[in-house]
Chain A
Amino acid sequence: MTRLPQGLATTPLATPLTTPWWRHRRLLPWLVQGAVGLLVLVLVAFLLGNLVRNLTNAGLLLTWSWLHNPAGFEIAETTLPFNASMPYWRGLLAGLVNTLQVVVLGLIGATALGTATGMAAFSSNGLLRGLARLYVDLIRNIPLLLQLLFWYFVVFLALPNGAAAVQLPGLVLAKSGLYLGQPQLVNDVWQAPLRMSVEFASLLTGLVVYTGAFIAEVVRGGVAAVPQGQWEAARSLGLGQALTLRRIVVPQALRVIVPALNSQYISLAKGSSLAVACGYTDLYSVAETTLNQTGRAVEVVLILLASYLVIDLVISALMNGLNRLVQLRER
């Protein structure tokens, strides 16, 4: 019992042979990890076995052939062309493209808003500082779903239609949509080179405003982490405010900001699945309709899980790349 395997016993720094095996510094971690690993494996095997057994009993073992059946439903707005005679996989893909669209625009918008608000916390203007604080505290503490319902039902659906629509230079806000470019009123219907549905606009606004508040805090924290001495040193060198920010503060702040930003970006991507609350047809919405029509609950949920996982992993990978770029390279 006290004898140890040769390899373990002869390694440098190995404990003397007299040490009992349960106190061996190399064997013990292996045993503990092995036991935990085994436990996890047994648990996973049990859950999988349970799933397969019950699915077999219910006659619902995984099949994928239904993906090629015609979907039979329409999607309100798609970037990838889609109609009801196309198969389910194409519908899901169109939904995924819709999701990616709102996520990418959301990331850009939230970053811009968050950065501006975060920097406003350092403004010498008290009113601006106060407003930034108010925005962050208000938005951060209200659930995203409620905010989406608010933007859709209270703000965007309250817009007037036709000639009464809100007209700004190059932009018209109407109940039928947001029109960009040079909107023209033809037969009481607005026409413009670029149109955004109010559903998409509500979701995008909701995601940008919500995530922007969190990013503002990340940016504020990052900038605050740059020692005051760096500002003072820059000023004593005669650098202006803008140059100080660009050359001294931001490069140092980014090291703190980027890792925290990653989580916010991922949470925005996941939050986009609440689109159904404001009538926007994203991946989740298409998947839900598909699930209802086909009854293939497990398969559809697996597709959903895989899609959001991949989106988040891609965001993570990009942000990790960015992180490597901004990190201090020490020799």
Chain B
Amino acid sequence: MPLQRWLKAGWSLVGALTLSGSLAGCADGDGGRGSGVQSPKMAMIKARGSLICGTDGKLPGFGFLGSDGRYAGLDADTCRAVAAALLGPGDKVEFRDLNPSERFAALSSGEVDLLARNTTMTLSRDAAGGNGLSFAPTTFYDGQAVMVPAASGIRQLKDLAGKPICVPGGTTSELNLADRMREQGIPFTPLKFQTLDQVYAAYRSGRCAAVSTDRSQMAAQRSTFPKPEEHTLLPMVLSKEPLTPATVNADPAWADAVRWTLYGLMQAEEMGVTQANVEAKVVEAKANPRKAELRRFLGIDGDFGRQLGLPADFVVQAIRAVGNYGEIFERNVGQGSKLKLERGDNRLWTQGGLIYSPPFR
């Protein structure tokens, strides 16, 4: 009886769907095994053997896919540090290029494990009732600025009255600019584009009198212009832009692991542990039981790693992969890079900056 067979097939399909639905509902119960730390995300990353990290992919200094097929930049190295802390040596990162509009959806849907994509930490992005992200320590303290052609004679916001200004759509830059201009009662025309390439293409064609976004980002983009000296970054600061990696709210253990790996990089700079001397430091700490703080930090004593659901030597692995915070900064955006940005606010707190790791205790 063909009909009966069809019906039977239909019912088994319905059964399979219902079953797969209920399975999907309880599939993520198992966590990071053996450590007592419950983290579905970390279990998933370990099983996969690689960390999927969302970056810009087109922003020099932060996340940039070079001609050698390798991602370079501060954000890319953040990803590498976290991957090394969790999975050990071997650059086990898969990068995904995300535009500003898709980045949060990509993170909350689980398409990427970690978002390190020059993203500003804000209340609504952090709050459970907003985007519901969980932010790690800020890796770059930035501020919004305005770039204009040097020959335009524009020196302050007032000069931009009634003029078109290019901004990347769906970013804090768009809102901050609207806020500042409204405060000062200056009318302007915002031209929004989905990608930075389009923003700068429109700016360079002369369609906009100015472009406004994060200062570091504009410095980075300007370095790729044929004649960078023809464009000026105006000195005023429109907003605070703490660029911060983020994970999802739903997995606090994973957020902690990311947070303390990044604090580890900052603490390493403070303690003078570098990519070059990390092996020597480990040997030194092992030989000298009186170096209690260094021994705890490098995972020789104590169980910080286990508490986080990470290997005991997670800090050592991260430093081995990318160096300490200062090294990452100088290599990607500082004096060792094309951008040549000053450390400024991104100096250690001991040198008057804002980079500060809570104690490893």
Contacts and interface: CB of A to CB of B under 8 A. Distances in A.
Interface of A: 22, 28, 31-32, 35, 38-39, 42-43, 46, 49-50, 53, 57-60, 72-77, 83-85, 153, 157-158, 161, 175-176, 198-199, 276-277, 279, 281, 285, 288-289, 291-295, 297
A43 B190 contact: no
Contact of A297 (B105, B175, B191, B194): B105
B154 to A, nearest CB: 15
Contacts of B193: 276, 279
A289 B192 contact: yes
Interface in B185-223: 188-194, 198, 201-202, 205-207
Contacts of A57: 250
A292 B100 CA distance: 8
B344 interface: no
8 contacts: A35-B7, A46-B21, A50-B24, A72-B178, A76-B192, A84-B179, A158-B205, A199-B191
B153 interface: no
A59 B129 contact: yes
Interface of B: 1-4, 6-7, 10, 13-14, 17-18, 21, 24-25, 100-101, 104-105, 108, 124-125, 128-132, 164, 169-171, 174-175, 178-179, 181-182, 188-194, 198, 201-202, 205-207, 250
Contacts of A83: 182
Contacts of B105: 297
B22 to A, nearest CB: 10
Contacts of B6: 35
A292 B250 contact: no
A281 B216 CA distance: 27
B356 to A, nearest CB: 29
Contacts of A58: 108, 132, 250
Contacts of A158: 205
B7 to A, nearest CB: 6
Contacts of A39: 10, 13-14
Contacts, number: 116
A128 B129 CA distance: 62
Contact of B21 (A50, A73, A281): A50
B192 A72 contact: no
Contact of B201 (A153, A289, A295): A153
B174 A279 contact: no
Contacts of A53: 25
B178 A276 contact: no
B354 to A, nearest CB: 26
A39 B164 CA distance: 54
B3 A22 contact: yes
B165 to A, nearest CB: 10
A293 B171 CA distance: 8
Contacts of A199: 191
B190 A292 contact: no
A42 B198 CA distance: 44
B101 A175 contact: no
Given A76-B164, A157-B207, 4 more contacts: A59-B128, A74-B188, A74-B190, A295-B132
A interface, over-half SS: helix
B205 A279 contact: no
A42 B17 contact: yes
Contacts of B181: 74
B117 to A, nearest CB: 13
Contacts of B130: 294-295
Contacts of A60: 132
A176 B202 CA distance: 12
B124 A295 contact: yes
B17 A43 contact: yes
Contacts of B18: 42, 46
Nearest to B133: A295
Contacts of B17: 42-43, 46
Interface centre among B104, B131, B207, by most chain A C-beta atoms within 10 angstroms, is: B207
A281 B10 CA distance: 47
Contact of A276 (B132, B169, B174, B205): B169
Contacts of A295: 104, 124-125, 130-132
A288 B169 contact: yes
A157 B202 contact: yes
A198 B13 contact: no
A293 B124 contact: yes
A59 B132 CA distance: 9
Nearest to B194: A276
A161 B178 contact: no
A276 B206 CA distance: 19
A35 B207 contact: no
A53 B7 CA distance: 29
A57 B24 CA distance: 13
B201 A279 contact: no
Name the residue among A39, A77, A276 with the largest chain B CB count within 10 angstroms.
A276
A109 B1 CA distance: 59
A292 to B, nearest CB: 4
A158 B207 CA distance: 9
A115 B280 CA distance: 80
A153 to B, nearest CB: 6
A299 to B, nearest CB: 13
A161 B207 CA distance: 9
Contacts of B10: 35, 38-39
A73 B207 contact: no
Contacts of B198: 277, 279
Contacts of B124: 293-295
A289 B7 contact: no
Nearest to A22: B3
Contact of A292 (B2, B101, B179): B101
